Amino acid sequence: MSDTPHASDQELLLALDGELDAHQAQLIEQHLLHCAACRARRDQLQQALVEFLELHRRKAPAIPPAEAASARLKAALAELTSQPRAKRWGLVARSLLAAGIFGALLLLAALLESRRPPGPLPDPRLTPGAARILPRQQVCSMVKPPGARAVSQALADQVFRQYGIGKPRPGAYELDYLISPELGGLDDIQNLWPQPYSEGEWNSRVKDALEEHLRRLVCDGRLELATAQREIAKDWIAAYRKYFGSLRPIAEHAFFVKDLPWD
């Protein structure tokens, strides 16, 4: 902190973006408690950041699904590593393609209203969903270790920041796969978004209940995996209403615990 009575824009922004060390962050925090002018300025800066994020998304081009680019990279890497291997990997890459194992979804759902904090539905421009088709046995056998955190801290930071959250409140969000890994969802940035963990009616616990239900339907052969992926990516709330036949979340699902929040 400087010796002026107010925190500078830079100090406020560093605090907002979680770029200060613990000691400095605490000093700013304390100052903000007593300085209404600084709190107001911090809110203006946060608002400016969120408005710029929105502008940036509006100007951004649509990004084609990743599978063609990803197959191209795999093939190039295979050729690059060693020539005998190249043949084998080229074959694998081609057969994977031919079998249509890589399927990714780029869905243009209705756009979110501008400048809204992350809600129960992701921004389709940032998180259109990305998935591949899994064999049914795998959908049936897929067991995710409880509490496993597959997403690296660096990727998590990036996703939160894209959504204008510099420093997530501990326990407030689940860094959720739009299409869950159990349903073929990929570890792609286009398949991840910060979902409010238990705030609001349509929270991540309710979505977890839907994912489990869809997984069982696919496993039992009552639903095509591709359909499940498409519907959950397009509007998971609509999918919930459809598959549970309930306009509002069923009470017990609010307590359904599968994934832990990000802390």
Partner 1 sequence: MESVWRIARSVPGVASTDSRLSVEREVSALFAELRAPLLRYMHSLGLSVSDGEDVVQEVFLQLFRHLAAGKPRDNLRGWVFRVGHNLARKHRQRQLRQAPGGVVELEMTDEASNPEEQIRNLALQRRLMSVVQALSERDRQCLVLRAEGLRYREIAEALGMSLGAVASSLSRSLGKLAITGERYE
Query: Which tokens sit at 33?
Result: 């408690």
What's the residue count for the chain? 263
Instruction: State the DSSP string of 47-113.
Output: HHHHHHHHHHHHHSPPPPPSHHHHHHHHHHHHHHH-HHHHHHHHHHHHHHHHTT--------PPPPP
Binding test (CB under 8 A) with partner 1, winner from 29, 33, 37, 44: 44
Site string for partner 1, 68-107 (x = CB under 8 A): -xx-xxx-xx-xxxxx------------------------
Binding test (CB under 8 A) with partner 1, winner from 99, 154, 247, 251: 154
- Contact present, 195 and 173 (Cβ < 8 Å): yes
3-class DSSP state of 174: strand
Q: Name which of 35 and 223 has its Cβ closer to partner 1.
A: 35
Q: Name which of 8 and 227 has its Cβ closer to partner 1.
A: 8
CA atoms of 72 and 65, how far apart (whole Å) = 13
Q: State the nearest-atom distance from the C-beta of 243 to partner 1, in Å.
A: 27
Assess 187 for contact with partner 1 (CB under 8 A).
Answer: yes
Q: State the nearest-atom distance from the C-beta of 83 to partner 1, in Å.
A: 8
Query: Which tokens sit at 102?
Result: 């890589």
Assess 260 for contact with partner 1 (CB under 8 A).
Answer: no
CA atoms of 256 and 205, how far apart (whole Å) = 6
Only one of the segments 25-33, 61-69, 215-223, 253-261 lies at the binding site for partner 1 (rule: CB under 8 A); that segment is 61-69
Binding test (CB under 8 A) with partner 1, winner from 26, 64, 100, 227: 64
> Which stretches of the chain bind partner 1, using CB under 8 A?
8-10, 12-14, 17, 19, 41, 44-45, 47-49, 51-53, 55-64, 66, 69-70, 72-74, 76-77, 79-83, 110-111, 113-114, 130, 154-155, 157-162, 186-190
